[in-house]
Amino acid sequence: MDGVHWLSTDRLMLRRFTAGDADWLAALYADPEVTRYLGGVKRRPQVEDMLKTRILDYYDAHPGLGIWLTIEKASGDRVGFHLLNNVQGESLIQVGFGLTASAWGRGYGTEMARAVLRYGFIDLRLPRIVGLASLGNVASRRVLEKIGLQRRGERGFAHPAYAAEGPMAFFERERDAWVADRGVDYESI
């Protein structure tokens, strides 16, 4: 690893966002199709505020957690983001992702979300990780199931980032059950 890209899979790698990624992030959040399940289109000032407070400042405030830029290894292109962070207004730690339209249908969401979930359970030793998806977002619900989370019904959240969505599909998994399903001796890791 080159020090900047800290988590890697066969086709993808993650790195921290920087202030220099503002244009890319603004373009992502300007696309109504891409943001349909990400809270909708955001104007440039909203994106800049999100980049500063929810992404850049979050790295130092919550070591090991964050939202990271997802890079396609073969091309070096930015294809989305993956995250392991607090559900806003909650103590729950969530795994999630957002991808550019050109990256849809290629298995990128599943590939890197699986690696991020493993990182959370094995490296950070988090006891529980959850996932949220809009009820209409069948593709994201499938990804959360494929990576090993289990559907636990629907849940609404009071924080303004989620409140307008109403109830969301709620997934979760305990570390011990996730590790046991994989036949891994957790203590030897």
Q: Which residue range is the domain that position 144 belongs to?
A: 5-188
Residue range 104-115: mean pLDDT, rounded: 97
| SS3 state of residue 183 | coil
Q: What is the mean pLDDT of the chain?
A: 93
pLDDT-derived band at 91 (thresholds 50, 70, 90) equals very high
Q: Is the pLDDT of residue 95 over 60?
A: yes
Q: Mind spelling out the 3-state secondary structure of 102-140?
A: HHCCCCHHHHHHHHHHHHHHHHCCCCEEEEEECCCCHHH
Angle between the N-to-C axes of helices 138-146 and 108-118, in degrees from 0 to 180, rounded to the nearest 10:
40
Spatial separation of the C-alpha atoms in residues 187 and 185, rounded to whole Å: 6
Query: pLDDT tens across 22-63, in order?
Result: 999 999 999 999 999 998 999 999 999 999 999 999 999 999
Burial 47-69 (b: 16+ CB within 10 A, else e): beebbeebbbebbeeeeebbbbb
And the tokens for 106? Answer: 């290629």
Number of structural domains (the chain) is 1
And the tokens for 174? Answer: 């305990």
pLDDT-derived band at 182 (thresholds 50, 70, 90) equals confident
Q: List the CATH number of the domain containing 183.
A: 3.40.630.30
> Please, are residues 144 and 137 in contact by the beta-carbon 8 Å criterion?
no
Q: Give the pLDDT of residue 2.
A: 45
DSSP state for residue 100 in the 8-state scheme: -
Q: Is the pLDDT of residue 166 over 50?
A: yes
Q: Is the pLDDT of residue 188 over 80?
A: no
Q: Is the pLDDT of residue 71 over 80?
A: yes
